[in-house]
Amino acid sequence: MASRSKVSDSDLSTMFVRAQSSMNDTHSDRFRRIWVQYTRIGKMRVDVVITLFPIKGDYRMVFFRELNVHTISIESIMGLINS
């Protein structure tokens, strides 16, 4: 069985910062601000919280539990708010 390379905390942090920046740029017509936060759960999983601040109205928090660090990408993070 082939082993997967370790995903470093630095790599995850960089990816989530880039995803947050891309979301803010892409959805600036709908949201005045988007925050993306994560907590690493062991070596293989992350929990993600996306806080959406619409141009009008109250903010909303969306929670995603135990996403696999080997399959998560900027595109998949951005897709979470469209699902």
Give 3-state DSSP helix, strand, coil % of the chain, rounded to 5: 30, 35, 35
Bridge pairing between strands 60-68 and 31-41 = unpaired
pLDDT band for position 4 (50/70/90)?
low
Q: What is the pTM of this model?
A: 0.83
The 10s digit of each residue's pLDDT in 61-81 is 999 987 888 888 888 888 888
